[in-house]
Amino acid sequence: MIQIKKNNVLKEPLYDEDGNITDFTFEFDMEDIELPLRINQSAFEHKKNVQWVNNQMIIIDKKEDRQTGGLLSWKEQQKLNAYKEFYEKEIKAMDLILGEGKTEQFLKAVKRKPYYSMFEDISELIEPLLPKLQNITNDITTKIKEKYSKKEDNVLE
**Residue 78 belongs to a domain:** yes
Short-list 14, 16, 4, 11, CA closest to 132: 11
Dihedral angle computed from the Cα positions of residues 63, 66, 72 and 75, in that order, rounded to the nearest 10 degrees: 0
- Which helix (DSSP H) or strand (DSSP E) does residue 15 occupy? strand 9-15
List all residues 6 or more positions away from 13 whose beta carbon is below 8 Å from its beta carbon. Answer: 21, 22, 24, 25, 26
**Residue 147 belongs to a domain:** no
Contact between 75 and 88 under an 8 Å Cβ cutoff? The reply is no
**Residue 66 belongs to a domain:** yes
- Tens digit of pLDDT for each residue in 113-156? 999 999 999 999 999 988 877 776 677 777 777 878 766 555 55
Number of separate domains in the chain: 1
100-109, long-range: CB within 8 Å, 24+ apart, which pairs?
105/24, 106/14, 106/24, 108/24, 109/14, 109/22, 109/23, 109/24
**Residue 43 belongs to a domain:** yes
**Residue 125 belongs to a domain:** yes
Range of 97's domain?
Answer: 9-130
Instruction: Indicate whether this model's pTM tops 0.75.
Output: yes
**Residue 138 belongs to a domain:** no
**Residue 67 belongs to a domain:** yes
Answer positive or negative: Cα dihedral of 97, 101, 105, 111: positive
**Residue 88 belongs to a domain:** yes
Q: For residue 39, is pLDDT > 80?
A: yes
- Tens digit of pLDDT for each residue in 43-89? 999 999 999 999 999 999 999 998 888 899 999 999 999 999 999 99
